[in-house]
Amino acid sequence: MLRAIVREANILDTPLITELSEQLGYRVLQDDIKTRLENLSQDNCHVIYVAEVNNIIVGWVHVSIYKTLLSEKTATILGLVVDQTFSRQGIGSALVRYAEEWAKNCKCQRIMLKSNMIRKDAHSFYKEIEYEIVKSQYVFAKRF
Span 90-104, pLDDT tens digits: 999 999 999 999 999
Instruction: In whole angstroms, give the CA distance from residue 45 to residue 5.
Output: 23
Q: Does the residue 81 lie in any domain?
A: yes
pLDDT of residue 120: 86
pLDDT of residue 65: 96
- 67 pLDDT higher than 90: no
Span 69-84, pLDDT tens digits: 998 999 999 999 999 9
CA nearest neighbour of 40 among 19, 69, 7, 11: 11
Q: Does the residue 99 lie in any domain?
A: yes
Bridge partners, 77 (sequence order):
63, 113
Domain count, the chain: 1
Q: How many CB atoms neighbour CB 22 within 10 A? A: 12
Q: Does the residue 36 lie in any domain?
A: yes
Q: Does the residue 143 lie in any domain?
A: no
Q: Does the residue 140 lie in any domain?
A: no
pLDDT of residue 107: 96
Q: Does the residue 52 lie in any domain?
A: yes
Helices 30-41, 14-23: axis angle to 10 degrees equals 120
Asked if 53 contacts 4 with a C-beta cutoff of 8 angstroms, the reply is yes
Residue 29 DSSP one-character state: -
pLDDT of residue 139: 87
Asked if 133 contacts 98 with a C-beta cutoff of 8 angstroms, the reply is no
CATH number of the domain that residue 40 is part of: 3.40.630.30
The H-or-E segment that residue 124 falls in is: helix 120-128
Look up residue 97 and give its amino acid: R
Q: Does the residue 141 lie in any domain?
A: no
Domain containing 57 equals: 5-128
Q: Does the residue 37 lie in any domain?
A: yes
